Amino acid sequence: MTRAFNFSAGPATLPESVLRQAQAEMLDWNGIGASIVEISHRSQDFIAVAAEAEADLRRLVGIPDDYAVLFLSGGATTHQALLALNFAGPGQVVDYVVTGHWGKTAIKQAKPYCTVNIAADGEAGGFHDIPSRDSWTLTPGAAYVHITANETIHGVEFRDTPDVGAVPLFADFSSSIASEPLDVSKYGVIYAGAQKNLGPVGVAVVIIRKDLFERSGQPRADIFDYRSHAARDSMLNTPPTWNWYLAGLVFKWMLAEGGVAEFARRNAVKSSLVYDAIDASGGFYRNEVAPAARSRMNIPFFLPDDTLNARFVAESKAAGLLALKGHKAVGGIRASLYNALPVEGAQALVDFMRDFQQRNG
């Protein structure tokens, strides 16, 4: 079997070695005579898997001891609501910097539980750039400032951590966590759906500075309370054990490959290959994002018309390049270059792009 290069924005490609290990262990994990998906989350076997996954993630990302790490069900959208419930008092202001579709979604989820101040919004410019820091209208005493570190649809990424003063910075890192070195200590909360760089869909990682647990937030059931989850080691209820296990395998793979520094190098190579091909195409391929804000993870681009866009998607699929159709909100083409996509995948895409332009330009 020859595996295609998968450019899906999420669920996304996983390392082949991880998939093969999971396949080999599916019926009999670690010689116990049962599958990992069948054993209790409270068994010593699974507790060891969970603890090892957390330790590996801490090592991989560089998470300090004064941060809790939670492995929870629900995607990033769920946690956009839970952030406000847990860390904003009734009616308290939360500042949002909106740089794309997922920033708007974060506001929608938070609005029932807090007063939203849109501190900066890139929509007027088509979400083609990050609003300059000096244009932000932050609220003194806000509960937190929220950003989306990387916008998968519009292909806009924060290349530096913004300084927001004493107010905690909360960030959705779903599509860029572990793709380059990250100073976790600059954030109050980092959260990420796993299905792009960390593992399969179905589990989210939430990294919380422990002093924030002192906030009372708003009345909520235990199941929506991060403190309760932290006190029970993410096992307040039955967790997504299969997804947690697979994420742990991905962490081990990343560490064995050289860690975040090595993936930062690979991701720079991959994204440069694709952007260079776009920029050298004489306008046949067009990326509209300001160069300083271009995402390394998700590269949207457009051909001269919709007919060519559709032809590109169909022919690339036939060539073994999957999931290149752009999001319905913007159209065009989108190449997602997450950690598990090898450099060879980006090169294969660039080769196809050049050939397609020669035949259709």
Q: In the chain, where does DSSP find H-type helix?
A: 16-25, 44-61, 76-87, 101-110, 226-231, 241-257, 259-279, 306-318, 343-360
Residue type, 299: I
41 within 8 A of 49, measured Cβ to Cβ: no
**Which is catalytic among the residues 121, 172, 244, 325?**
172
How far apart CA 339 and CA 267 sit, in angstroms, is 7
Does 111 qualify as catalytic in the annotation?
A: no
Does 65 qualify as catalytic in the annotation?
A: no
319 within 8 A of 350, measured Cβ to Cβ: no
Does 196 qualify as catalytic in the annotation?
A: yes
Burial of 141 (0-12, 13-18, 19+ CB in 10 A): exposed
**Which is catalytic among the residues 29, 102, 242, 253?**
102
76 within 8 A of 191, measured Cβ to Cβ: yes
**Which is catalytic among the residues 95, 121, 129, 196?**
196
Residues in CB range of 321: below 8 A, 6 or more apart: 4, 5, 7, 345, 348, 349, 352
Catalytic site positions = 102, 172, 196
